[in-house]
Structure 1
């Protein structure tokens, strides 16, 4: 008798997971993105035009705003001592006016002498650099040949030469405009300092939600604290730089060392470009002032040494990592603002960058802007290696 067959054992089923196949779709630029980019570009161009054509009003306003941010802690400290804001603001503005008057009066003599001697200095520089010009004589020859090929020697062609006004006349015509801007700046500064926290209070009342009010208060306080700390620190560093430049140039016998020290103090507010301008000016005057070319090279060498010490040691060590800025962003900002507003624009470019960076700390949508304006970020591995 046959035994019944046992049912065959079922093999365990294996589940094989297949990775989904992704098909890369072509990227289609939407019309909304193009429209948004176009609107932003048009807005930037219109804003640049408005900044350029309205500079007579905007320059005093921006200078007054930056100075008010710098001097507001002083007004607030005097208020704790019982001195009203209007009185302290008046005292501060009168002190600034006295400093400007004394500085302008003490430096007017050397500056006017420089303006008068500018043609003579230029002629002497050309005479002392004749051997250097000889190295590049072929450039003049090529230029003459190009003029001849372009018909520059044709007697029938009438040449019109526009004579530009001299340095003395240009400076004299620009003095009333400078005085007007200084007066308007100090007048606006007086009202900004006397108003105290009025602008902050109005801003808090206008904002709709409680979170927006708190954020606005934090942003305004951080801007005031960080910008005033930055400007005070940079001012101290710049004064020390001017003193070292003045003493160094005095030691080697450079004429008007006080004027060079003051000029170096103000030029140091312009990152990178200010030092280059100061070195070029000192080198040009040193060539005229000293008998030998080797002695003349000492003056720009002294300025270069002090500028290197300031830019590579003092400023990074004292300013700190929090407000250390991206060098590319600084150069771009200085170039753009100098193109728009001249020297004043170059001076206020970095404080504006500091304000934007402080705002980016509190606004999530501006985090990318804050990272771009910041210095190079170190990775945790690099920090570990430095610690080791």
Structure 2
């Protein structure tokens, strides 16, 4: 008979701790977001820092040089966008007026086909259509506000990155030291896997954004849209938000094309361009460059994005996928949680039968984390045996139930002198 039973107390403690952790992460986003970005940046910059350290032979100097190179690169990119976006913002009023006039004219023609007067079409436009067209702009505005918040904490993130790189050996040894001697090798392997996932994901996303920026800008330049580099690389930057960023990045140049061009083929060409680029990015570029490192299925990614946005806003959207990929690696190294790791993996469809074969064992069930030893069956037997021994000892006082007492008596009797 099994001597293990499910512990409701352990489950309750685990749920309470989980709820407290999620609540702390939610209310402490201003504290945890820069730290999380600092950890990811430290993972990404570690290979570069190691190479520079091999040359300069000083960790502090190597970290400073690495951060200086990255800072100059990021600063150049933001300066370029600030100058270009400022030129677009100066034309914003004219762009909005032209957009309204163009959409009104198109709707009047469409309404005439359905027998609607221009007044009815204009009223419908003012009440319904314009709200739906301008609906993404509050999302973009909130996103830019959140981006400004992240940029405002940029110095704090760089500071965290510096110290994580400086003390990386100590942090690694501390984590490995938390494992027993038998599992230290596996713990070190897990840490290396997490580091490789973060590095490959972030570096892969940079390559993807560069490729998308070039493709978008080249296509917009061929179509004849003004500021092709701004719209092209803005869409590439927004692509870091999976599923949503590419669509939002294509909507802005589409509206700009509608407002500033006098032909119909140019806005249609913008739609075809971004649709084609998104198809190529989703099926060829990202799976080849980033997909091999993340290994997260689409359903898990969508749920992670929703939760990330609910907890940390735009920063949560950016961090959701790499954090989920790291979590999957950790779960894959814990035996009862291996099935959950498979549920998050992109191999779920091909290995769906494994839940009833390899994982159909007690040690692979989540409930095994909340088991306890069952002493209820052993204690009554022990108590019953004690009652029997006590009853026998009372009936026959010469019966010695304690082996130690029996030994003491034998030793005492052997030492007594013999009486003639």
Instruction: Using structure 2 for the length normalisation, give the TM-score.
Output: 0.68
CA distance in 2, matches of 1:94, 1:115: 31
1:23-71 deviation digits (Å, cap 9, x = unpaired): xxxxxxx9965x7766666555544443232222211111111111111
1:192-228 deviation digits (Å, cap 9, x = unpaired): 11223210112223x2521232232111111112321
Choose the corresponding residue for 2:307, options 316, 336, 342. 336
Q: Quickly say closer, same or farther: Cα 1:121–1:44, change in 2 above 3 A.
A: farther
Q: How does 1:193-342 map to 2 (within 5 A)?
A: 193-205=165-177, 207=178, 209-319=180-290, 321=292, 323-342=294-313
Report what 2:329 is aligned to: 358
Does the aligned pair in 1 maintain the 2:95–2:260 contact within 8 Å? no
Report what 1:113 is aligned to: 87
Q: How does 1:160-175 map to 2 (within 5 A)?
A: none
Report what 1:76 is aligned to: 50
RMSD: 3.5
Q: Quickly say closer, same or farther: Cα 1:268–1:363, change in 2 above 3 A.
A: same
Report what 1:13 is aligned to: none
CA distance in 2, matches of 1:300, 1:216: 49
**CA shift at 1:273, angstroms?**
1.0
- Give the paired residue count: 327
Q: Quickly say closer, same or farther: Cα 1:321–1:185, change in 2 above 3 A.
A: closer
Task: Describe the SS at the equivalent of 2:294.
Answer: coil
Structure 2: any 5+ residue segments left out of the alignment? Answer: 128-137, 354-420
CA distance in 2, matches of 1:322, 1:182: 26
1:4-41 deviation digits (Å, cap 9, x = unpaired): xxxxxxxxxxxxxxxxxxxxxxxxxx9965x7766666
CA distance in 2, matches of 1:380, 1:65: 34
1:71-103 deviation digits (Å, cap 9, x = unpaired): 112222333445322111111111222122222
Does the aligned pair in 1 maintain the 2:147–2:314 contact within 8 Å? no
Task: Describe the SS at the equivalent of 1:210.
Answer: coil
| 76-85 or 190-199, larger mean C-alpha shift | 76-85
CA distance in 2, matches of 1:95, 1:227: 20
Does the aligned pair in 2 maintain the 1:69–1:227 contact within 8 Å? yes
Q: Which has the higher helix share?
A: 2
**CA shift at 1:349, angstroms?**
1.2
Q: Quickly say closer, same or farther: Cα 1:284–1:172, change in 2 above 3 A.
A: closer
Choose the corresponding residue for 1:185, options 133, 137, 157. 157
Task: Describe the SS at the equivalent of 2:225.
Answer: coil
Task: Describe the SS at the equivalent of 1:254.
Answer: coil
Q: Quickly say closer, same or farther: Cα 1:334–1:85, change in 2 above 3 A.
A: same
CA distance in 1, matches of 2:24, 2:221: 45
**CA shift at 1:379, angstroms?**
5.8
Choose the corresponding residue for 2:77, options 103, 120, 125. 103
Q: Quickly say closer, same or farther: Cα 1:171–1:268, change in 2 above 3 A.
A: closer
Task: Describe the SS at the equivalent of 2:183.
Answer: helix
CA distance in 1, matches of 2:143, 2:208: 30
**CA shift at 1:233, angstroms?**
2.3
Report what 1:163 is aligned to: none
1:333-361 deviation digits (Å, cap 9, x = unpaired): 11221232222221111111111122223
Q: Quickly say closer, same or farther: Cα 1:300–1:44, change in 2 above 3 A.
A: farther
Instruction: Using structure 1 for the length normalisation, give the TM-score.
Output: 0.73
CA distance in 1, matches of 2:352, 2:25: 42
Residue 87 of structure 1 pairs with residue 58 of structure 2:
no
CA distance in 1, matches of 2:10, 2:256: 53
CA distance in 2, matches of 1:358, 1:62: 17
CA distance in 1, matches of 2:143, 2:294: 37
Q: How does 1:42-61 map to 2 (within 5 A)?
A: 43-61=17-35
Q: Which has the larger radius of gyration?
A: 2
**CA shift at 1:251, angstroms?**
1.1
CA distance in 1, matches of 2:143, 2:236: 21
